Amino acid sequence: MGVLSRAYKCVGDAMHSYTHGGLFQAARRITSKGITPSYPDDETEALIRMVTGYALWATREVCDIAGREDLKRLWMSA
């Protein structure tokens, strides 16, 4: 199983629920004060970290596909 397939297996259901108005999204919008976004800071931070990781991984893959070892080394040294 590839990297993306394993990652999707771990978080796919939750991301689908957030994206398509499922239980996770509803649960984070219904508060005692009404219907308003109420995403906990730790969940927001975890999502930002995950998305950043995917973006960096995708950048590395693009460098591989383009045959740009120079850019890959530059990216890895940052």
**What's the rounded Cα separation, in Å, for the pair 53 and 10?**
15
Mark whether 31 and 48 lie in a shared domain. Answer: no
Closest to 27 measured CA to CA, from 12, 37, 15: 37
Tell me 29's DSSP state: T
- Residue 77, pLDDT above cutoff 80: no
Q: How many domains does the chain have?
A: 2
> pLDDT tens-digit profile of 2-18?
777 787 787 777 777 67
Mark whether 33 and 20 lie in a shared domain. Answer: yes
> pLDDT tens-digit profile of 16-68?
767 777 777 788 888 888 888 888 888 888 888 888 888 888 888 888 899 98
Helix 3-19 with 41-66: angle, nearest 10 deg: 140
CA distances from 38 to 7, 18, 60, 76 (A): 25, 13, 34, 36
* Domain around 54: 40-78
Mark whether 59 and 33 lie in a shared domain. Answer: no
Mark whether 16 and 46 lie in a shared domain. Answer: no
